[in-house]
Structure 1
């Protein structure tokens, strides 16, 4: 079977296309909401910072999802495609929460209408009533795109399902180890987004530049980046000391996120998180669960070091196969001489 070129099939192009279309639609709607609110309130005030933060997070989320989709198709990574579907569900939840967050930011008196106050009232004709329909449309569009994406991921599963076999052969133990490695790398990418999402909200919406907590948040950024990059590199290259250090940092990072979660609800600090508490809580809990899962999978990968998987993780076999498939339109067979994915690996 020949290796299909990147974006060379209808399923691949359609999958990228639906992500792009929903991203454009969602960002356009959120931009309109941002503009409507910005015309009537001072977004530099603490109560209204949730609005630009919402826009920033969705720009980040849509760009991240698009890059993850290109990366998954380039690597023929079915596990990452499944992760994108789960990430899309998280976007539905996040956009739904933002309806409540926007109401908290804008509405001070729910029962009055626009004749009393266009901005702070929640009745008919008010600013909130003008934007709430657009906010509801966002999760609806994302959910509709998710249903279509499932169809194309199913097609891509059958298209890419043989890729792991061509890297590690038919040995079940080797296949399982390689799948755990792929899950770990995929989790590290989503860890990065979750951490970035929490950090953006804290730095834009909540924390004062002069506060100690602001300094701690800034200091945590390079630590977490070193953790993620170090864990991925050590898993690929099977560097045991670096992997052990990365796993230790994961546990330390759990302490950091738990500390943040407590701060959201402590009587002494809960007021400063009022307008974004729901979103921050969701992001932080997801970060904690992702890190715990990453730690468990990383520990499993650590135990698999030295069992014959190193060559498959470092030789970039799929990219070699794709380059080979372009020559003269010929189709090389898996067992043909010089085929770049040979020899198949085995484990005794």
Structure 2
């Protein structure tokens, strides 16, 4: 049975760090969101400025929750590559939390001086909203930055614990090990890229495009399309289907082209270039381009490695004969195909590559 539970002391410390970060940020930002909804008047929702604070709070909270899920997933497959990428992602989350503080302060100042055409203010100007929430945002910033530092420090120890597991049950052949490492890198990038792309799309669609059709619906449709893209990418790369993988790589290139086109729009001369949350949009956009480009490159290398001895390992068709005085468990089968083959069915199988 696949285990998501931390086992070693370092695993518990790493999981505890991401859990404390998520619990602190989500709790504080939920309180801020409820306070904000009680502070603003309904007329404020007619303009994009009213969406800035709720969107930044939700995106940041989802990022912290996503980190917990990825931590448990890394323990499930004992992947040190994913731990390192997770540290990089958490640093990006720290930067976005710093940007969130400034964007929230700017949004509050804009809301306080605005009103609708009938003179109804956007919010209760007599209540010190910013004074009440700014300490909470500062706590979120400090917690996220400290968590990133602790995660990077713990990642070194987890590397020593996980590194043997990535290759021990793959093959003694160094070339096969290298191909398998690229495959693992590609899968990790597929997990992390959607968050940054989705964060940008949410900000861009609700703040900049702001319900203008047909761009609003077309942009929003990228979210389910990306999820389908990830699913077929995992299937085709594991089963080494050349035509399907070529289509997946084409979609990677299309995603990069779209993100770059939005970057040109944000720095262009159209009305979309003059937008709220521009710094945060550009940040998520740039990170999304980096992750998407890295996924494209890793996918191309995987495509090049098709039909070169890795497919039987990825599908769990290659089993390892235990050495003398060695206890065999279901762990390595979980790493390769996530399906546990009963030990009784594996006793007579040999480790061999097709």
Residue 36 (structure 1) aligned with residue 35 (structure 2): yes
Q: Is the 8 A contact 1:23 1:62 kept in 2?
A: yes
Q: CA deviation at 1:161?
A: 1.7
Task: Give the whole-Å Cα distance in 1 for the aligned partners of 2:347 and 2:165.
Answer: 14
2:12 aligns to what? 13
Greater Cα shift, 9-18 or 85-94 = 9-18
Separation (CA, whole Å) in 2 of partners of 1:252 and 1:322: 37
Are residues 1:24 and 2:23 paired? yes
Cα drift, residue 345 of structure 1: 4.7
Name the residue aligned to 1:313: 314
What is the number of equivalent residue pairs in this alignment? 323
Tell me the secondary structure at the aligned position of residue 162 of structure 1: helix
1:54–1:5: structure 2 CA closer, same or farther, 3 Å change rule? closer
2:351 corresponding residue in structure 1: 343
Deviations, residues 241-299 of structure 1 (Å, cap 9, x unaligned): 0111111111111221122223323333236x622111111111111121111111111
Cα distance in 2 between the residues matched to 1:244 and 1:255: 17
Answer yes or no: is 1:233 the counterpart of 2:232. no
Distance 1:266 1:88, change over 3 A: same
Matched, 1:185 2:187: yes
In the alignment, which residue of structure 2 is the partner of 1:329?
A: none
Q: Distance in 2 between matches of 1:178 and 1:238?
A: 13
Match of 1:59 among 47, 58, 61: 61
Q: Report if aligned partners of 1:72, 1:81 keep a CA contact under 8 Å in 2.
A: yes
SS class of match (2:35): helix
Q: Specify the alignment match of 1:146 in structure 2.
A: 148
| Runs of 5+ unmatched residues, structure 2 | 113-120, 321-327, 335-344
Q: 1:322 aligns with which of 331, 336, 343?
A: 331
Q: CA deviation at 1:342?
A: 5.5
1:304 equivalent in structure 2: 305
CA contact (8 A) 2:259 2:289 kept: yes
- Output the CA distance in 1 between the equivalents of 2:15 and 2:352: 32
Question: What SS does the corresponding residue of 2:330 show, helix, strand or coil?
Answer: helix
Note the C-alpha offset of 1:177: 0.8
- What's 1:291 paired with? 292
**Conserved 8 A contact 1:231-1:246:** yes
- Relative to the length of structure 2, the TM-score reads 0.81
Task: Give, in angstroms, the shift of residue 92 of structure 1.
Answer: 0.6
1:282 aligns with 2:283: yes
Structure 1 gap segments, 5+ residues each: 111-116, 326-336
Which fold has the larger relative contact order, with Cα–Cα distance below 8 Å and residues 6 or more apart in sequence? 1
- 1:213 is aligned to 215
Q: Distance in 2 between matches of 1:120 and 1:107?
A: 12
Distance 1:340 1:277, change over 3 A: farther
Which of residues 72, 75, 78 is equivalent to 1:76?
A: 78
- Deviation string, structure 1 residues 160-213 (Cα, Å, up to 9, x no partner): 221123222332211111111000000011112122212222344343435221
TM-score, length of structure 1 as denominator length: 0.82
Match of 1:88 in 2: 90
Q: Does the 8 A contact of 1:104 with 1:275 survive in 2?
A: no
The Cα RMSD (Å) is 3.3
Q: 1:137 to 1:341 in 2, by over 3 A?
A: farther
Sort the Cα spacing of 1:342 and 1:68 in 2 relative to 1 into closer, same or farther, 3 A. farther
Match of 2:262 in 1: 260
- Distance, in Å, in 2 between the alignment partners of 1:323 and 1:299 is 26
Q: Is the CA contact (8 Å cut-off) linking 2:99 and 2:280 kept in structure 1?
A: yes
Determine the C-alpha separation between the residues in 1 that align with 2:123 and 2:163. 54
